[in-house]
A and B are shown apart, each in its own frame.
Chain A
Amino acid sequence: MFDTMENKLYIKNHKIIRLLPNYFKWVGLVIMFLAGVLLIAIQSPKDTLSIITPRFFLLGLLLISLAKDKTEDEMSMLLRLKAMGFIFILVIGIIIIRPVSDLIWKDTTPEPSSLHIVLRMLIAYHVVFFFLKKFR
């Protein structure tokens, strides 16, 4: 975040995407946890809090995604890219296929909101990134 000249050169030379410091993972986790607790505690589904809280959950997930690993290197950057690319193509595939599958299975569930799509994308990204790192 507060890059020195040396860090800036390192980022440029190694073609690394600028990410947040590692402790943002914990910040994200705390935000997610608090938002999760609030989501469970909310009684009325239509008040302001119930609209804001999922956004905070999303913010927590985003902060975790954007935080560096303990040892961030060029390979983890490649794995991030792979995970993002895979999820992006998967979501597009699902959006294309969904109307067809709805017709076949006569599913009347309404289309998910953009918030839910992005939430699922980020969760799936974390799962894919985790397994890519585990089995690299």
Chain B
Amino acid sequence: MKTLIKVERAKLNMTQQDLAGAVKVSRQTINSIEAGRYVPSTILALKIAGVFKKTVNEIFELEKTD
């Protein structure tokens, strides 16, 4: 799954730690999601999208392999 978290974070000048704090997960979890090593649950995906005031589809994109 492709994610635009890094781009959205950069737009808001947010660190991984800031985002992690906002959605109550560890910084390493955000790092793993950004790197594509971990696919978040629906609830976490909705929370992340909520921080950026976007829909989940705007933040996460399915790839051919998914």
A residues near B14, Cβ cutoff 8 Å: none
Contact between chains at A133 and B40 (CB < 8 Å): no
- In the complex, A133→B27 CA distance in Å? 12
Which of A36-44, A45-53, A67-75, A116-124 sits within the interface? A67-75
Q: Which residue of B lies closest to A72 (CB)?
A: B26
Contact between chains at B43 and A73 (CB < 8 Å): no
On chain B, the number of residues with a Cβ less than 8 Å from chain A's Cβ atoms is: 13
B residues near A71, Cβ cutoff 8 Å: 20, 24-26
CB 8 Å contact bits of B15-53 with A (1 = contact, 0 = none): 000001000111011001000011011011000000000
Q: Footprint of B on A, CB under 8 Å?
A: 13-15, 69, 71, 73-76, 78, 133, 136
- Which of B26, B32, B44 is most buried by chain A, counting CB atoms within 10 A of its CB? B26
List the count of A-B residue pairs having beta carbons below 8 Å apart. Answer: 34
Contact between chains at A133 and B28 (CB < 8 Å): yes
B residues near A133, Cβ cutoff 8 Å: 28
Contact between chains at A75 and B24 (CB < 8 Å): no
- Which of A13, A74, A78 is most buried by chain B, counting CB atoms within 10 A of its CB? A74
A residues near B41, Cβ cutoff 8 Å: 14-15, 74
- In the complex, A75→B40 CA distance in Å? 8
CB distance from A129 to the nearest CB of B (A): 13
Partner of B44, one of A69, A74, A76, A136: A74
